A and B are shown apart, each in its own frame.
Chain A
Amino acid sequence: MKESLTAETVMIAGHGGDQIEAYLARPQDTQTFGGIVVIHHMPGYDSSTKEIARKFAAHGYAAIMPNLYWRDAPGASPDDAAAAARAKGGVPDERLVGDVGGAAEYLRGMAGCNGKIGVIGYCSGGRQSFLSACSLPLQAAVDCYGGAVVHVPEQAPASMKPIVGLAKDLSCPLLGLFGADDQFPPPAETAELSQVLDSFGKPHEFHTFEGAGHAFFSPDRPSYRVDAATKGWELVWDFFGKHLAS
């Protein structure tokens, strides 16, 4: 693989048919490919998450990241849009599912797409990845240290509810990547989620990395842990390779 790719901004139909912005990265040196919806973290539709989309394209997947804050601040810089969205209480779960579903449909409609769609999200996007996989027909999902799945912090907006009750509807295998030192979600909570998934016979594999806390994948933050991130990426490639391959 030569890792050749193209990346561009597109408009897609999101929740309720709304036109929203999205960042699309696609491989150039493969004729058929699986698709991945990348859910950005709470700081927004930013450069670091666009880089993740390009990384997937370099590895042979079409990746699309919907701008979850487009409605709150169309055309604004990512940090201003994140601030505006936060002041409005964040992204409603229903809207998130609609936007991810629209992004998945966009990928399925691309010439060369094999129809297999995965989703991955980090931090708040980890929770939203699980939410999407329990709400939409997908082929693989990755939850990177998503909190507020089993228990919601007291300070969270009243609109935010635990979503562990959706586990019975999980539509695809789930890969969970967590830090042993993380408090949100703590290992006890991810273990609880694993037990719930077991009770419904839902395929999943959770990995909890020693010496890592929250956001260990983020190379531009002090929380970055090279060992956990390197092993985590290997697990992601194996997982998506198994479930999204043509």
Chain B
Amino acid sequence: MCTYLTESIEAAGSGKGANGWFGLSEVNVYFDHPVHAPADHTLNIDFANPAKGPAARVAVELTTETARALVKAIEATLAAVPAGLA
């Protein structure tokens, strides 16, 4: 199915797309049909800056298992950051 499920957040940082690095303004997270991944549904993330055009986007399509592992890896990494750096 098309889930229509989308979570969007404002973002600060940078991403590297097809045309090089660009500043990010938002991240959209959704669970729906992938374009490329060999699965019926994937957890998809677009790191984007719409002001720079639709191609200013870093896209990933992750299996559910990979997405959950990624969440843990991000949390673990942030938790291990020495005091005063983050």
Contacts and interface: CB of A to CB of B under 8 A. Distances in A.
Given A46-B35, A124-B2, A83 B40 contact: no
Contacts of A148: 4
Most buried by A among B2, B5, B34, B48: B2
Interface in A15-57: 41-44, 46
Contact of A155 (B4, B34, B46, B53): B4
A80 B52 CA distance: 12
Contacts of A90: 4
The binding surface of chain B is classed by DSSP as loop
A230 interface: no
B38 interface: yes
Contacts of B1: 123, 147, 153, 182-184, 214
B54 A147 contact: no
B70 interface: no
Most buried by A among B4, B6, B26, B34: B4
Nearest to A157: B4
Given A77-B55, A221-B40, A87 B50 contact: yes
Most buried by A among B1, B3, B59: B1
A87 B33 contact: no
Given A83-B57, A86-B30, A87-B8, A155 B3 contact: yes
B39 interface: yes
Interface string B42-61: 00001010100111010100
A227 B20 CA distance: 45
Contacts of B28: 83, 86-87
Given A43-B35, A123-B1, A155-B3, A84 B54 contact: yes
A46 B28 CA distance: 21
Contacts of A153: 1, 3-5
Nearest to A46: B35
Interface string A111-127: 00000000000011000
Given A123-B2, A156-B4, A214-B40, A81 B54 contact: yes
A41 B2 contact: yes
Contact of B57 (A80, A184, A213): A80
Interface of A: 41-44, 46, 72-73, 76-77, 79-84, 86-87, 90, 123-124, 147-148, 153, 155-157, 160, 182-184, 213-215, 221-223
Interface of B: 1-6, 8, 26, 28, 30, 32-35, 38-40, 46, 48, 50, 53-55, 57, 59
19 contacts: A41-B2, A42-B2, A43-B33, A44-B35, A73-B53, A77-B54, A81-B54, A83-B48, A84-B50, A87-B6, A123-B1, A147-B1, A153-B3, A153-B4, A155-B3, A155-B5, A182-B1, A214-B40, A222-B38
